[in-house]
C-alpha cells in the first residue's frame, strides 16, 4: 500500500529560495510525509514560479489587485486549495497578510518562515530585507529565523522552530539576509514542513481507523 502523504501548497511572492529548499528537501527525502502539489504566487513576475515549473509542480497566479478585494482574493485562494485537496499551506516569502477569515479556516494548517527571532523584528511592516535592516539598525548581535503557525496576528502564531544566527561586523542587510537563509531558513522550513505533515497524516490515519 502507498504511504499517505500530506498535500502541500506553497504560497510565494518573490525569488523562492525557500520554495527551492522545500523542493530539494523533497528530493533528498528530508520532506517525506508531505509533497508539494501546488505553488500559488500573488505576483505574476515571481521567480519562484519558474522554480516550481522546473520541478514539474503546478502553479497558479492569484493577484489581489485583479480581484479587487481581500475577500475575493482569499476566496480565489480557497477555491484553488479546495480543488487541489490541500492539507498544509506553507508561506515561503509570501508578502501578503491573510485575514482571520482565511487563517481560522486553516487553523494549525498554515506555517510561515520569518527571518528573525520572533518576537523581535516581526509583525506588520517587517518583511524581507526590512527585517534585517531593522536588526542592524537596532544593533543586536544575534538574529535568526522562526517557523510558526499562522493565525490572525501577523507573525503571532505558535512557534514551531527557531535558529539563531550571529551578526558580524560589516554586515549589510543583503549579507545578513543571505546568512540567515543559509544557516537557518533553508534548514528549518523543510524540517518544520516534515514535522507538521507527519502530524497531519498521523491525525488523518487516526480519524479513518
Ligand atoms: C525570506 O527571507 C523569508 O523569510 C521572508 O522573505 C524572504 C523570501 O525569500 N519572509 C518574510 O519576511 C515574511 N514576513 P525567498 O522568496 O527567496 O524564499
How many angstroms is it from 87 CA to the middle of ligand 1? 22
DSSP secondary structure string, the chain?
-PPP-EEEEEEE-S--HHHHHHHHHHHHTSS-SEEEEEEEES-TT-HHHHHHHHTT-EEEE--HHHH-SHHHHHHHHHHHHHHHT-SEEEESS--SPPPHHHHHHTTTSEEEEESS-TTSS-STT--THHHHHHHHHHT-SEEEEEEEE--SSTT-SPEEEEEEEE--TT--HHHHHHHHIIIIIHHHHHHHHHHHHHHHHHHHHHHH-
**pLDDT of the residue at 206:** 86
Q: Where are the domains of the chain?
A: 6-208
- The pTM of the full predicted model, rounded to 2 decimals, is 0.97
Q: What is the mean pLDDT of each run of 10 residues along the chain (209 residues)?
A: 85 98 98 98 98 98 96 98 98 97 98 98 96 98 98 97 98 98 98 98 88
Name all residues whose Cβ lies below 6 A of ligand 1. 14-18, 48, 92-93, 113-115, 127-128, 131, 181, 185
Query: Into which CATH architecture does domain 6-208 fall?
Result: 3-Layer(aba) Sandwich (3.40)
Amino acid at each position: 500500500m502507498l504511504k499517505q502523504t500530506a498535500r502541500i501548497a506553497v504560497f510565494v511572492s518573490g525569488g523562492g529560495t525557500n520554495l527551492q529548499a522545500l523542493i530539494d528537501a523533497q528530493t533528498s527525502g528530508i520532506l517525506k510525509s508531505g509533497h508539494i502539489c501546488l505553488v500559488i504566487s500573488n505576483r505574476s513576475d515571481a521567480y519562484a514560479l519558474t522554480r516550481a515549473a522546473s520541478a514539474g509542480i503546478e502553479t497558479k497566479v492569484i493577484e489581489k489587485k485583479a480581484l479587487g478585494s481581500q475577500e475575493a482574493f482569499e476566496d480565489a485562494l480557497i477555491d484553488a486549495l479546495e480543488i487541489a485537496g490541500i492539507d498544509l499551506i506553507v508561506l515561503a516569502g509570501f508578502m501578503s497578510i491573510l485575514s482571520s477569515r482565511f487563517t481560522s479556516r486553516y487553523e494549525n494548517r498554515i506555517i510561515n518562515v520569518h527571518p528573525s527571532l520572533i518576537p523581535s523584528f516581526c509583525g506588520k511592516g517587517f518583511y524581507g530585507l526590512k527585517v534585517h535592516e531593522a536588526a542592524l539598525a537596532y544593533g543586536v548581535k544575534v538574529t535568526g529565523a522562526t517557523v510558526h503557525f499562522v493565525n490572525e496576528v501577523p507573525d503571532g502564531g505558535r512557534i514551531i522552530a527557531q535558529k539563531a544566527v550571529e551578526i558580524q561586523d560589516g554586515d549589510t542587510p543583503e549579507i545578513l539576509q543571505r546568512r540567515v537563509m543559509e544557516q537557518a531558513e533553508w534548514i528549518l522550513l523543510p524540517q518544520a514542513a516534515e514535522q507538521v505533515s507527519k502530524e497531519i497524516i498521523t491525525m488523518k490515519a487516526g480519524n479513518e481507523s
